[in-house]
């Protein structure tokens, strides 16, 4: 990770038509603003358009719902030590109802005190996939039992999308404002 931003959001007057279209699409959607990784993605406007559409689905429209989605996003941010992603989604996770103690445990890389089979399935599947790049048969069966096949597919998609977000933020040094201290070690 770099300590300085390597890429900047172009001034609006300098946007190409394709960049302006990508920004218009994201700001007209549920986010209502330009998310951090899009600062880099705008260097490739078509990637920005497609990624923001996928991101909107992964964040707001999967069958997982806010608590399970934010749990998976925090696990991904923690895995990649993506400070910007962590801060943004810690707030969203708390608003969704994820316990502060669970969030603290994830930040400290401790096994959290989750309460439902679906939360445990998201945690276990996510950790396995992020740490070992695979999901053993018994764990896959646990995930399908708790989330259904569609839920498993959407969980894997969400993890992949937020891995791309984290890699983008880390590679291009899109970090926290100076007034915000990183929470991940």
pTM: 0.93
Q: Hey, what CATH class is 65-168 in?
A: mainly alpha
Give yes or no for a contact between 22 and 45, defined as CB atoms under 8 angstroms apart: yes
Q: What is the pLDDT of residues 132-169, one digit of tens each?
A: 999 999 999 999 999 999 999 999 999 999 999 999 99
- Residue 182, pLDDT above cutoff 90: no
d(CA 145, CA 122): 11
Dig out the tokens for 9 from the structure. 């959001």
H or E stretch at 58: helix 45-60
- Alpha carbon of 174 to those of 25, 79, 83, 88: distances in Å? 21, 17, 9, 13
List the domain boundaries for the chain: 12-60, 65-168
- Residue 180, pLDDT above cutoff 90: no
Q: What is the pLDDT of residues 37-59, one digit of tens each?
A: 999 999 999 999 999 999 999 99
């Amino acid at each position: 990770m770099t300590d300085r931003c390597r890429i900047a959001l172009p001034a609006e007057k300098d946007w190409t038509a394709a960049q302006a279209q990508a920004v218009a699409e994201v700001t007209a959607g549920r986010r209502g603003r330009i998310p951090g990784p899009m600062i880099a993605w705008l260097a490739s406007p078509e990637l920005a358009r497609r990624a923001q559409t996928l991101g909107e689905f992964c964040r707001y429209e999967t069958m997982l719902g806010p608590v399970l989605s934010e749990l998976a996003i925090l696990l991904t941010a923690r895995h990649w030590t993506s400070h910007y992603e962590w801060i943004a989604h810690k707030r969203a996770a708390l608003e969704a109802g994820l316990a502060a103690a669970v969030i603290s445990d994830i930040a400290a890389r401790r096994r959290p005190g989750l309460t439902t089979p679906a939360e445990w399935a998201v945690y276990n599947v996510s950790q396995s996939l992020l740490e070992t790049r695979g999901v053993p048969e018994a764990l896959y069966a646990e995930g399908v039992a708790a989330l259904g096949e569609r839920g498993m597919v959407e969980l894997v998609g969400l993890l992949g999308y937020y891995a791309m977000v984290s890699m983008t933020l880390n590679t291009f040094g899109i970090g926290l404002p100076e007034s915000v201290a990183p929470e991940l070690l």
